[in-house]
Structure 1
């Protein structure tokens, strides 16, 4: 009865290595056939080419001159010859305050001036006859000058009852109506000069440094001006259409960063000949800039681990190596790369999800020009 049990144990011990060998062979077969059974592995190389990159910034649109028109004297509004939204010329009458009191004050001050001049003439005659001293003449002169100053002041106050346009522009909302009693300093309306629009946008520090460090960007004679070489600055409106004027390649930079946001404010100037842009609008500012000899790869060749971008590079021994890259710009379905890969590298563009670092692969190679000609996919 003991021999059969011994033979059974011996037989089991002989079968175990065979089973393990078979299982390991099956696993190796599955691993080897994984690439073959999945998507084919396709390689390409980074392409060196000139590309136009685009940076987008949310922006606020302001008139070059946007001012509040306020009452300089108190009184009732007697006349408002303009309407909201109307274009006006410099010096055109906007509001008129009842001027009766100011006219009366001016006439009274003129009469005092006339009396002071008569007094001065009489005092001079008496001085010539040596009846009064030169001090009396000086006092009469001072009285005359004081009266003249009062006339000038009354004349100015009368002029302030007529509120005129300080420049060519557009009248905005009217805050007071005909017959309203206004006090000195009350706001009557606002006015905008929309011939040139100032477009403000916030730029992160990293982008600011990239712009500043470009050759020829800063002119020591105008440090507040920043020139973006080979750039074209456009404005996309709220309806998605591009404004028909451009800002060229120059922007104005503020002096300080915002400590809370880490941004610095830029300003681009847009001519507005048709008057389409108005103060207070919003849009998206587009900075198109040509980058020469940029390293370009398809987005679908990359994958992300902990907010870092990687690609699989295949060496001469056909072994896959995971490599980190630094992305300078994202443009449609390509990445412009600052570092991590070279034009001579071979990177995986199809079958990325099937691979692991250190895998040995069989692959098909496609020229980068062919791959980049019809890209439609984003990074995996």
Structure 2
């Protein structure tokens, strides 16, 4: 019996010792990681959907009714100022011009004869004035007929690209009917909408003068030329709360075309900024807070203001000073006023272990 009881006692003692060891292990207070804000230079890039428009983009329309007699250009062709594009059958207008010119010649002969007779006193000054008025009217009719004849040829008012042809050879067109579009793509206007809060940030910043932006094309590549924001429209859209901006881009290689879409990229620089990981914050009633840890290890909740946001980090506007310690993780495990054990991780190590963009 004694031989059996001794081993059983030894086993029981080892079990009790093991349990006590586990309890001691669980009762040890956890060690938390704390860090400090990192002071660094960084920048953020914001993207806005945009629409690309030619600075000069017009409708070319017929100015007289008639049949299309000649089409001198093709779709997509580059044309130059004054180049003939279309001709509407000019027979009628040429005949009107010739008739007006003949009547003007006759009126001039009548006037010269009347003037000769007036010098001899055969006719009165009133008859001479009447002849002069008839000559002026005839000359005006010539100019009107010449203008109508010029309408038969539609020419390019500026250098540009021809769009789709809306008519074909021999088509009967009415006065004002669309023939095609003409676009001058040497300079493009790019429109994008900015929310009110971001508009105020931009307006109140120093970067508004000579404000350069980038254009990301539909294929994801950046356009080679930087643009300059030149105008902001007068009113906000009441439905969206946005206001349109317009940036101008030079297009020396002719890559951009009227009607394209893309994204405007605006970079905002923050020099000597304080940044913290987003995971170190929590939100209460739409306000951001961090847990401050003082030298005694006591937890305190403090509100922080955010100036801007990057992936995984916040750029601080206020709330923390350089050198102050905040709880880096385990926010759900502590409460204000509680004392904790902690290890300090440098702000640089805490930030650069994240996926972010700093300079």
After superposition, what is the alpha-carbon deviation per residue over 1:21-40, rounded to whole angstroms, capped at 9, x for unaligned? xxxxxxxx99975x62xxx5
Unaligned 5+ segments in structure 2 are 1-23
Deviates more, 1:298-307 or 1:235-244: 298-307
What does residue 8 of structure 2 align with? none
Rounded to whole Å, the distance in 2 between the matches of 1:307 and 1:279 is: 43
1:218-237 matches, within 5 Å, as 226-227=208-209, 232-237=212-217
Pair 109,355 (structure 1): closer, same or farther in 2 beyond 3 Å: same
SS at match of 2:59: strand
For residue 50 of structure 1, what is the aligned residue in structure 2? 41
User: Retained in 2: the 8 A contact 1:42–1:350?
Assistant: yes
Which residue is equivalent to 2:92?
Answer: 101
Match of 1:144 in 2: 135
Secondary structure at the counterpart of residue 67 of structure 2? strand
Show the counterpart of 2:225: 245
Separation in 1, partners of 2:290, 2:231: 39
Cα distance, 1:173 vs structure 2: 1.5
Choose which of 245, 260, 263 in structure 2 pairs with 1:281. 260
Q: Do structure 1's residue 255 and structure 2's residue 234 form an aligned pair?
A: yes
Instruction: Give the 3-state SS of the residue equivalent to 1:56 in structure 2.
Output: strand
Identify the residue that residue 223 of structure 1 maps to in structure 2.
Answer: none
Matched, 1:60 2:51: yes
Aligned to 2:244: 265
1:170 aligns with 2:161: yes
Structure 1 residue 257 displacement after superposition: 2.1
Distance 1:334 1:121, change over 3 A: same
Structure-2 separation of matches of 1:272 and 1:32: 70
TM-score normalized with structure 2 length: 0.87
Q: d(CA) in 1 for partners of 2:78 and 2:230?
A: 29
- Structure-2 separation of matches of 1:269 and 1:88: 23
**2:109 corresponds to which residue?**
118
Deviates more, 1:134-143 or 1:338-347: 338-347
| Equivalent in 325, 336, 349 of residue 304 of structure 2 | 325
Are positions 1:128 and 2:119 aligned together? yes
Deviation track 1:47-70 (CA, whole Å, cap 9, x = no partner) reads 222212212211111111111111
CA distance in 2, matches of 1:117, 1:213: 71
1:297 corresponds to: 276
Closer, same or farther in 2 for the Cα pair 1:236/1:124, shift >3 Å?
A: same
Cross-structure match for 1:200:
191
Greater alpha carbon shift after TM alignment, 156-165 vs 314-323? 314-323
Gapped regions of structure 1 (runs ≥ 5): 1-28, 218-225
Q: Deviations over 1:181-233 (max 9, x none)?
A: 11111111111111111111111222222222224x5xxxxxxxx416xx641
Whole-angstrom distance in 2 between the partners of 1:318 and 1:232? 48
CA–CA separation in structure 1 for the residues paired with 2:328 and 2:219: 36
SS in 1 for 2:341: coil
1:372 aligns with 2:347: no
Q: Verify the 8 A CA contact 1:197 1:269 in the aligned structure 2.
A: yes
How far is 1:162 from its partner? Answer: 0.7
Partners of 1:199 and 1:270 within 8 A in 2: yes
Q: Secondary structure at the match of 1:350?
A: coil
1:27-42 to 2 correspondences below 5 Å: 36=30, 41-42=32-33
1:232–1:289 contact (8 Å) kept in structure 2: no
- Assess, with a 3 A threshold, how the Cα gap between structure 1 residues 232 and 125 changes in structure 2: closer, same or farther: closer
- The Cα RMSD (Å) is 2.2
SS in 2 for 1:62: strand
Aligned to 2:19: none
Q: What displacement does 1:297 show?
A: 1.2
Q: How far apart, CA to CA, are the structure 1 residues paired with 2:125 and 2:37?
A: 98
- Shift in Å at residue 261 of structure 1? 2.1
Q: Measure the CA separation in 2 of the matches of 1:355 and 1:92.
A: 79
Taking the aligned partners of 1:85 and 1:255, their CA distance within structure 2 comes to 35
